[in-house]
Amino acid sequence: MTTPMTRRRWLQRLGRHGGSAAVLAALNSLGLAQASPASADFKLGPAPTRGRRVLVLGAGVAGLVSALELQRAGYQVQLLEYNQRPGGRCWTLRGGDRYTELGGASQLCQFDRGQYFNPGPWRIPFNHHGVLSYCRQLGVALQPFVQINDNAYLHSRRAFGGKPQRRRELQADFSGEVDELLAKVLQQHQLDAQLSNEDQARLLETLRHQGALDREYRYRASDAVAERRGFEPFAGRGVSSKPPLDSPRPLTELLGSGLLHQLEQLPDFEYQSPLFQPVGGMDMIAQALARAVGPRIRYGARVSAISQDERGVSVAYEDLGQPGRQHTASADWCVCTLPLSVLSQTEMRISPALREAIDAAPYFSALKVGLQFKRRFWEEDEGIYGGITSTDMPNRLIAYPSHDFHGKKGVLLGAYAFGTQALEFTALPPAKRIQAALRFGAQIHPQYPAEFETGMAVGWHRSPTTLGCFAFWSQANRERHYPTLLKMDGRLILAGEHASLLPAWQEGAVLSARHAVTQLHAAASSQTAK
């Protein structure tokens, strides 16, 4: 399997060729350089006339938020949803659930009661104000999500003999070595033109404390360094034994390991603490939204065609409970939250510009594998409570549950693959995908074979409702087509993470839904005023 093209790697290549300005522009276009602008007190004005009907296609987060806000304003709303559940990609798998992908491969989830796996979104940044506002409004209980765990591992098959390294050790060594270098530069008077003598003295003292440097400003084995790097075995394993003072690794060895880029990926703005997760699984958000919307969702409805004229919108759909039976739903207006990957294969009466925009954004492939183990060996044996281990193997990462600490069992996210690696994983039958994740993970956690019980593997490009994980806009396509997606097209408007600056995030779905219903409400009010 080949090395994946991650978003970080893409941005690094962009920076090498286009400089920091190009990276900043890309970050802004992807919504990664700013907090969400969502307001906690969002509210539409009253519907212009009673009885105005709106058809919402898709009961994912964007569709549910659209329906809820339109209902609050007084519109009559009906939702059509392909799945037999709400949430779309806001999805949690539990014991007894069955998932059938394109091609017919079917998996029955056999997790124990209380165990679960989020194949889609699994964390909520503190700055995603829209999602958090609905959690607050609807009583969705949240708990901390551990993103950065200094006791988790960084791993490369080509570094340190393939032995996984504690993140805290590499972070301490890298910071100490770089602080020593900067201290040498100061002592050689290389920064006299930039800093006064007083500021240089203050900086030297800061570097000494920050990097655990000795009195000669060297990064060497010491009690202070050991406090940063930690001890193996952990202190407290024996009251009479003194933990060893391991020698720090030199900077050349750290640079040659190829692991330092794994240190960099965690502090990105969208991953900074605190992050949250709903208690009991991510779909607690979708379930709460669906309850608030009420009995207006028709499940098992596969949309086959969308037409419109000056009087309204008409949607043809198949009832999956009675295959082959076609039905029609009509309304005055329509909010369509179906993924662009699905709409590109759907018959629609829309403008050529909107059709071109729908066809312009490819969807990124991604795969997740959830693995249930009979005991939480990562906690018991290795002291890892939540957080993420990063690797250069095709499974890419291992994420440890941030809940039910010291429970009897647990479900790890055993693989989160993107791009080509996700395609290679899903070229295998589901059972072999799980075996591949186990084979890779055992190189970090040798307990895998003895402790594994059951697993689930979801490749999003095999999902019949999405045909991909999220819309992957190029800068050129976004500049050309994105504005078209945001506009009313007759009596129809699109919403979803693809119509936002936060693709792949639930917050993008919330923001786009609020934008869509605002535009629809303005169009309906304007028409009534005429």
pLDDT band at 51 (very low <50, low <70, confident <90, very high): confident
Indicate the range of 9-18, 244-253, 507-516 predicted with least confidence.
Answer: 9-18
Q: Hey, what are 105's tokens?
A: 């491969």
Report which of 477, 473, 430 is spatially closest to residue 455, judged by C-alpha positions: 430
Distance CA 106, CA 100 (A): 4
Q: Any idea where the domains of the chain sit in the sequence? A: 53-86+286-361+473-529, 93-151+273-281+366-462, 165-257
Predicted pLDDT of residue 25? 40
Question: Tokens 């949430």 — which residue?
Answer: 87
CATH 3.20.20.150 fits 93-151+273-281+366-462, yes or no: no
Distance CA 378, CA 369 (A): 17
User: Which alpha helices (DSSP H) does 258-406 contain, by range?
Assistant: 260-264, 283-293, 340-343, 352-360, 377-380
325-331 average pLDDT score: 95
Predicted pLDDT of residue 24? 38
pLDDT band at 21 (very low <50, low <70, confident <90, very high): very low
**CA-CA-CA-CA torsion sign (503, 301, 96, 451):** negative
pLDDT of 62 higher than 70: yes
Report which of 491, 465, 455 is spatially closest to residue 333, judged by C-alpha positions: 491
Question: Tokens 């124990």 — which residue?
Answer: 112
114-127 average pLDDT score: 97
Predicted pLDDT of residue 245? 67
Predicted pLDDT of residue 17? 37
pLDDT tens-digit series, residues 211-222? 999 999 999 998
362-385 average pLDDT score: 97
pLDDT of 422 higher than 90: yes
β-bridge pairing 124-125 and 165-166:
unpaired
pLDDT tens-digit series, residues 87-105? 999 999 999 999 999 999 9
Say which residue, 398 or 33, is predicted with more confidence.
398
pLDDT of 13 higher than 50: no
Are 86 and 290 in contact, with CB atoms under 8 Å apart? yes
Predicted pLDDT of residue 423? 95
Q: Does 165-257 match 93-151+273-281+366-462 at the fold level? A: no
Predicted pLDDT of residue 230? 83
pLDDT band at 243 (very low <50, low <70, confident <90, very high): low
pLDDT tens-digit series, residues 485-529? 999 999 999 999 999 999 999 999 999 999 999 999 999 998 876
- The CATH topology of domain 165-257 is de novo design (two linked rop proteins) (1.20.1440)
Dihedral angle, C-alpha 72, 78, 81, 84, nearest 10 °: 90
Say which residue, 455 or 261, is predicted with more confidence.
455
Q: Hey, what are 392's tokens?
A: 């250069």
What DSSP designation does 46 have? P
pTM, two decimal places: 0.89
Distance CA 297, CA 57 (A): 10
pLDDT of 12 higher than 60: no
Predicted pLDDT of residue 179? 94
Buried b (16+ CB within 10 A) or exposed e, 391-425: bbbbbbbbbbbbbeeeeebbbbbbbbbbbebbbbb
Q: What is the CATH number of domain 53-86+286-361+473-529?
A: 3.50.50.60
Predicted pLDDT of residue 244? 61
Predicted pLDDT of residue 19? 35
Quick one: three-class SS letters along 348-376? ECCCHHHHHHHHHCCEECEEEEEEEECCC
pLDDT of 465 higher than 80: yes
Predicted pLDDT of residue 269? 79
227-245 average pLDDT score: 65
